[in-house]
Structure 1
Amino acid sequence: MVQATAGAAPGTKRKRQDGTEREDAIHQSISDAIVEHRLKPGSRLREDALAEVFGVSRTGIRKVLQRLAIEQLVTIAPRRGASVARPTADEAHEVFAARQMVECGLMAEVASRITSGELMELDALTRREVNALAEGNKSLAIRTSSEFHERLAQMSGNKTLAEFVGRLCSRSSLILAVYGSSGGEPMGCESHDHNELVRLLKDGDGAGASQFMLNHLKSVEASLSIVEGAEEVPDLYSIFGS
């Protein structure tokens, strides 16, 4: 009689691990494409096309899309499938209200504990954002701006709130894609605002950083206007293909 062994065989564990890592990588790729506006709000995300592009099963793609739906970056509708989420005006205001409450509230703690190394890291992110805007690389500028805010929240030491800020920043990117300027002006944060925030934090001015963050986020929200657009069918091969 063969006795059952505790746990799965090493080969099975390795396959599961490889599968999880692959799904994580696909999740990151699609998330980045949404945040950087390479995938537009309302764009259809066909399981079969994504499965072919990434070389995985539709089951694996379905798991990734479900994760993105939980993060409110993707909407899944019966008989219609998945599409990039398109926030309503009310949702846009709610997201910015949440950011104001959370991010402004974290500034005092960040100012009291930020290190010289972390200040250098924020300076580097600001420079990267400035360079991306100068080169006309809006996707990188949007991604870097989001990374700046998320990293700033992490410096508070509160991992739960930092994760929440990260999700709010991702949703803000969708909001900017729907309601931001369609012209040549850069969308989202002004890089000089980030420079001023770093200066205030370097001076240990938590109250000043909190007020400046409030004005900063209100300014971004005030720049938005509602513009309805037609549903887009993205070219998944050009977005994710090698």
Structure 2
Amino acid sequence: MSNDEKVYQKLLRAIVEHKLEPGVRLPEDKLSEAFGISRTGIRKVLQRLAIEHFVVIEPNKGAQVNEPSRKEAIDVLESRILIEPLLITDILKHWDDTQSCYFRSLVSQEHKAEHRGDLAASIQLTARFHFELARLSKNAVLAELIEQLCLRSSLVIAAFGSKSSVNCECGSHSEIIDLLDAGELVEAQAWMAHHLELIKDSLNLDSKNEQPINFQQLFSEMEQ
């Protein structure tokens, strides 16, 4: 794993695990000092996080952890609740044993991340499950929209969610695979809508904690 990738994963984990709260400034000089890499390397990592909506970079102001509003959080999940169940009809047209095995492998990765307490990986994997499932519909426009909504959902869960937002309390993805294997259209649509409703209900929209950040201490503690 490259140095840039290691820094990316540590920053992502810090954001997802609420060690870096929404709105926290991410000064290049302090991050460079904390990680022992150049400011150019830090800038590349921050730009990658900005593409994924975890970070906002403003001209002459620098980077900060993205801070979705409470309304945005609800709007993102409700948009998914409206769209994703509708894609099940077309997903079933392209569902077969190969797809079933592949998505079960993703569920296995999710369970491993959950068991080791890796919330960042859990959020990434649950988003991947949903947008790759959407791609099976072969509706490129809606699949791209779902991918963007999943990325924004990852930020929302990082900002307002908890472990319950990505674990079996909101329904294991293996359950919808079982329904797709059985060709149960209505049941699969209902499961997807209920699953996303549970994720929305798991959000704590009042969470907010503003404290000064000692980046060197934070990331040295994450190494332990």
1:159 Cα offset (Å): 3.6
Between the aligned partners of 1:221 and 1:106, the Cα distance in structure 2 is: 20
Q: 2:125 aligns with which of 144, 147, 152?
A: 144
Contact 2:23-2:65 within 8 A present in 1 as well: yes
Contact 2:103-2:129 within 8 A present in 1 as well: yes
Aligned residue for 2:165? 187
Q: 2:85 aligns with which of 104, 123, 134?
A: 104
Q: What are the superposed Cα offsets for residues 44-88 of structure 1, whole Å, 9 maximum, x if unpaired?
A: 222334556484554x75566456445532223455321110111
User: Do the aligned partners of residues 123 and 83 (structure 1) sit closer, same or farther apart at CA in structure 2, a change above 3 Å counting?
Assistant: same
Aligned residue for 1:230? 210
Aligned residue for 1:16? none
Between the aligned partners of 2:43 and 2:157, the Cα distance in structure 1 is: 26
* TM-score in terms of structure 2 length: 0.76
Q: Give the 3-state SS of the residue equivalent to 1:186 in structure 2.
A: helix
Amino acid at match of 2:209: G
Between the aligned partners of 2:112 and 2:134, the Cα distance in structure 1 is: 23
Contact 1:26-1:54 within 8 A present in 2 as well: no
Q: What are the superposed Cα offsets for residues 155-208 of structure 1, whole Å, 9 maximum, x if unpaired?
A: 222344333323322222222232224xxx533352743121111111222332
Counterparts in 2 of 1:3-42, with a 5 A limit? Answer: 29=9, 32-33=12-13, 36-37=16-17, 40-42=21-23
Q: What CA RMSD, in Å, does the superposition of the two structures yield over aligned residues?
A: 3.4
Aligned residue for 1:46? 27
The more displaced of 196-205 and 37-46 is 37-46
The more displaced of 195-204 and 63-72 is 63-72
Between the aligned partners of 1:168 and 1:42, the Cα distance in structure 2 is: 20
The more displaced of 133-142 and 115-124 is 133-142
Between the aligned partners of 1:161 and 1:92, the Cα distance in structure 2 is: 20
Structure 2 gaps, min length 5: none
User: Do the aligned partners of residues 25 and 106 (structure 1) sit closer, same or farther apart at CA in structure 2, a change above 3 Å counting?
Assistant: farther
Aligned residue for 1:198? 177
1:154 Cα offset (Å): 2.0
Q: 1:209 aligns with which of 180, 188, 203?
A: 188
1:217 Cα offset (Å): 0.4
Amino acid at match of 1:127: S
Counterparts in 2 of 1:67-216, with a 5 A limit? Answer: 68-69=49-50, 71-77=52-58, 79-181=60-162, 186-190=164-168, 192-216=171-195
Q: Give the 3-state SS of the residue equivalent to 1:87 in structure 2.
A: coil
Contact 2:114-2:122 within 8 A present in 1 as well: yes
Structure 1 gaps, min length 5: 1-21
The more displaced of 131-140 and 229-238 is 229-238
1:224 Cα offset (Å): 1.5
Q: What are the superposed Cα offsets for residues 83-128 of structure 1, whole Å, 9 maximum, x if unpaired?
A: 1101110010111122122322211111121121111111111122
1:220 Cα offset (Å): 0.9
Q: What are the superposed Cα offsets for residues 109-153 of structure 1, whole Å, 9 maximum, x if unpaired?
A: 111211211111111111222233233333332222222112211
1:30 Cα offset (Å): 7.6
* TM-score in terms of structure 1 length: 0.71
Contact 1:42-1:232 within 8 A present in 2 as well: no
